[in-house]
Amino acid sequence: MYRYYAAARILLVFIPFMGYIHPDEFFQSVEVVAGKFLNVEHKLTWEFNTTAPIRSMALPYFTLGMCYKMLLGLDYLTKVLLGVPMLTSYFAILIPRLFMCLTTFVVDFSLYKICSNNNEKCKSRLVVLSTSYVLFTYGTRTFSNSFEMCLFAMLLYYVSESLTFSNQILRKKEYVQYRYSKSKSIPERAKFHKLNLYLKTDSLRNCFQISSIVVIGVFNRPTFLVYSTMPIFFWLYRGIGSRVISNIHFHLRILALVVCALPVLLFVVLVDSFYYGYISWGEIGMLDVSINSFVFTPWNFFKYNTNVQNLKQHGIHPRYLHFLVNMPLLFSILAVAHLYNLGFYFHRLTQSKYSYLPSIRSIKGLMTVSTLLPLSLLSLFPHQEPRFLIPLLLPLVYLYGTKILPEKESDIIKADPTSFKAARVNKMSNIFYGTWLMINFTLMIFYGYLHQGGVVSAMSHLSSIAGRYDRSVEIHLFSSHNYMLPQFLLLQRKTTLKIEDFVSDMEAYKQRVHVYDEGSRELEFLTKKIQVVYNTRRMSRGRFKTYLLIPSSLSSDMQRLIGGTNLGLTKIKGFFPHVVIEVLPKIMAYYVDLVDLFDFGIFSDFHKAQMFVAKLVEFFGLDLYEISEKYVIHGDKMISLDKR
């Protein structure tokens, strides 16, 4: 069963133009990387300003950047051999998503290895993991949180592997030392002494891998420090307090982690410093290097996010949002089981029944605290989004996956399949598993295909429209009540302008496409801005085209407002489905019409069915309009362009 779900995860990536979850899936990664590698016009957000950049480019550069390098190579080959280009909007979004999809199998592999190393069954856990909509939607998008989820899974695997190995070695060492102390003859003592020498050392096991993952994870998202705290502590504390491992090992392991982290740390800092222009090879050759020649993006990230005024620009949320809303939204039954289990542990803790708590040397203890601490610490920050918690998927599935889909019955239950206990277990497991599948399928459809689903399709269509005109024709694109438009999908090559002066030759870029993302501003403001931009461009006598992207539910209002001006709207195409949560209240205005259609029987004749479908498209569509003049003012007269 797992194989079918894993194959579905890959195949669904190839279905074009899936939904748009959050602007960060483009503007923290592919929008910037595509501008660099594909040399296309793009939008740089405030996070990549050279004064105080808060996003490291090392990981996207060597992952998504290499994907686009491969795309350029394939584009060259297909043009030469087949005469067909591959550098299209479809492949520009497919290649990085396919890479992210394949990367998420690191989570599957980590879960499999953690279970197999501890002699635990993993089939049901893998099925639960592979049916989570988090992997289908967030996992296949180029979020920094998706990279964080994969890195956290790798970290948990290496730590749990070290923990399991250390527990085995510790038991063997204690046994050998016990036999050595009880030996009465010299040959027998020599035998056990030799056995002790043959035992492998476990003190620094996986040290380089763990330190490298932590460094890369922190530069990818500094919140990774919150996720890695408890796994690192478990790795440091392995065997401490036993007869064969002393406390000095704890400090030696800390030193080893720091030393092993230095090469990766220096490499990432150098990559970011070169990318943001803080240092150059010429300065290195002249030895003109100081501490100001380097940039440390996690520190800038920390300074920015500790300022509440900055966070207010992105939204302030209540502290309980992660616990009560975001966890159930992402993990449904897993989140409920986790909250119930935490309540159980807290109750046992108040009763001083410590034997009911997970051991600090067990994988269950590692997974429990690796879930609890990040959830608690991230809840302290006033800005909370569901995607911040997606790295918790693996530990939650490990802890509670068998609650949703139990493994095959034990021999005791098999012996009496008609027992009340067996029947109750089977019934509850069917209910939980069915509910889990229904919830995740619904959320996968919503976030994968419906939510802001027309934006990417519209940008692809606009790319083909822009290709019909000469590059001297400017494109002005207005967007209202949509997420920020990913401009790299237009695939407009940068036009380089050389500026010569007495000192040196400089280069600048002439922008062909101008995008105006107006967000949720009032339509009256949008109308006035369209007039100002259009009239300004007309007076400059340059060639230009102007377009508007707006949800279908707002189209009639926009046409009414624009009708009072000298401009007109011509619908080019509609894109369906496109769900905008921010304008859902507008739909209630058509509630009566829908009720009437149902009362009269929408399927009683073809005309009524058409009306019903038209209403659905009107509710959940995205319309693309071309803006043009209806008339021009000549002296004191208005002359219609149709009659001029």
Closest listed residue to residue 487, CA positions, set 518, 521, 462: 462
pLDDT of res. 539: 87
Does residue 465 sit within a domain? Answer: yes
Least confident of 80-89, 193-202, 547-556: 193-202
Q: Report how far apart, in Å, the C-alpha atoms of 140 and of each of 100, 351, 438, 459 are.
A: 5, 45, 20, 20
For the chain, give the mean pLDDT.
85
Closest listed residue to residue 362, CA positions, set 246, 241, 237: 237
- What are residue 627's phi and psi, to 5 degrees? -100, 130
pLDDT band at 66 (very low <50, low <70, confident <90, very high): very high
Does residue 449 sit within a domain? Answer: no
Model pLDDT for residues 18-33, shown as the tens digit of each residue: 789 999 999 999 999 9
The residue type at 33: V
Q: Which helix (H) or strand (E) segment is 639 a member of?
A: strand 637-640
Is the pLDDT confidence value at 419 over 80? no
Is the pLDDT confidence value at 603 over 60? no
pLDDT band at 504 (very low <50, low <70, confident <90, very high): very low
Is the pLDDT confidence value at 317 over 60? yes
Does residue 541 sit within a domain? Answer: yes
Sign of the Cα pseudo-torsion (555, 557, 558, 562, in order)? positive
- CA–CA–CA angle 530, 533, 535 (5° rounding): 100
Does residue 544 sit within a domain? Answer: yes
Portion of the chain with pLDDT greater than 90, in percent = 53
Separation of alpha carbons 530 and 263, rounded Å: 52
Q: Locate tokens 């592919």: which residue? A: 30
Separation of alpha carbons 175 and 187, rounded Å: 18
pLDDT of res. 132: 95
Separation of alpha carbons 182 and 174, rounded Å: 12
Separation of alpha carbons 55 and 147, rounded Å: 13
CB atoms within 10 A of CB 197: 8
Does residue 4 sit within a domain? Answer: no
- 268 CB contacts (<8 Å, ≥6 apart)? 56, 58, 215, 216, 219
Q: Residue 638, SS3?
A: strand
pLDDT of res. 601: 53
Separation of alpha carbons 149 and 108, rounded Å: 11
Q: Report how far apart, in Å, the C-alpha atoms of 523 and of each of 95, 170, 445 are.
A: 36, 70, 30
DSSP annotation of 410 reads P
Model pLDDT for residues 100-137, shown as the tens digit of each residue: 999 999 999 999 999 999 889 899 999 999 999 999 99
pLDDT of res. 166: 81
How many domains are there within the chain?
1
Does residue 333 sit within a domain? Answer: no
Does residue 572 sit within a domain? Answer: yes
Mean pLDDT of 140-160: 95
Range of the domain at 527: 454-579+620-640
pLDDT of res. 280: 84
Model pLDDT for residues 198-248, shown as the tens digit of each residue: 666 677 889 999 999 999 999 999 999 999 999 999 999 887 766 667 778
pLDDT band at 519 (very low <50, low <70, confident <90, very high): confident
Is the pLDDT confidence value at 411 over 60? no
DSSP annotation of 484 reads P
Mean pLDDT of 428-439: 88
Separation of alpha carbons 405 and 430, rounded Å: 8
Does residue 56 sit within a domain? Answer: no
Q: Report how far apart, in Å, the C-alpha atoms of 536 and of each of 26, 449, 543 are.
A: 31, 38, 12
Q: Taking a C-beta distance cutoff of 8 angstroms, is the pair 452, 19 a contact?
A: yes
pTM higher than the cut 0.85 = yes
What's the 3-state SS for 132-170?
CHHHHCCCCCCCHHHHHHHHHHHHHHHHHHHHHHHHHHH
